Structure 1
Amino acid sequence: PVQVKVLTITSDADDYANEIVATLQDKGLRAEADTRNEKISYKVREHSVAKVPVQFEVGQREVENRKVAVRRLGSKQQRVEALDDAIDALLKEVETRANQT
C-alpha cells in the first residue's frame, strides 16, 4: 500500500512532485504522484477515502520555496514544512513503527 501521495495543485508543480516521489522511493518509502488535472479538494478526498496516511500537497508557492504542505489521514489541518524536514520526520515515524512490531 502507498504510504505517501504527492498531490499537485497546478501543473507547474508536476516536475517537483515527481522529484519528491523519486526522493521518497530512494529512501525506501512507497510513494506515488497524482498529477491529474483535477481540483485539489477532489484529490484530497479521493486519497483520504482510500486511506492514504500522508499526503504532500505542492503548488507554485511550495515549488519556489522547496516546501510541502503535509496533510495526515484523519486531520483536516495541514502544515507547511521544508521538504527535507518533512521527509526526515516521515522516515523517523516509519522507523519507530517498524521497531514497535
Structure 2
Amino acid sequence: MALNQKVKNLIQKLGEAIHESVSESEDIAGVVKNIREQGFDVLLMLEATIGLNEVEAEAEEVTEAAGESTDGPFTSNDLTFLKSLRISLTEDDSTDIPDATEA
C-alpha cells in the first residue's frame, strides 16, 4: 500500500507521541529507579508496530469474504479482526479447525 506524505508524517508523529508518553511516565520512571537501587542499570527498548488498513475497502472485502452483512451482531471492524485471527463465521469452515488435543 503506497502512503502519501501526509500519512507518513502522521505515523511519524504517532511514534514521537508514544516515545514521549513512555519517556515522561512517572510509573516507568519509578520502576526504573527501583531497579537501579537494586544495583542494575536499565536499558529500555520498545518496538511499536503500526498497521494501517483502508477502512472502506477492507470492510467491503471482509463482508464479501465472510458472506455476512454488517446488520448482524458484528461490525465490519469485528469481521476484519476475526479474519486477522483466521476465524471464519461460516459453518462450512468449522471442520477445518484442528482440535487442540490433536497437536
Q: Give me the TM-score of the superposition, normalised by structure 2.
A: 0.23
Task: Give the structure with the higher percent helix.
Answer: 2
Task: Give the structure with the higher percent strand.
Answer: 1
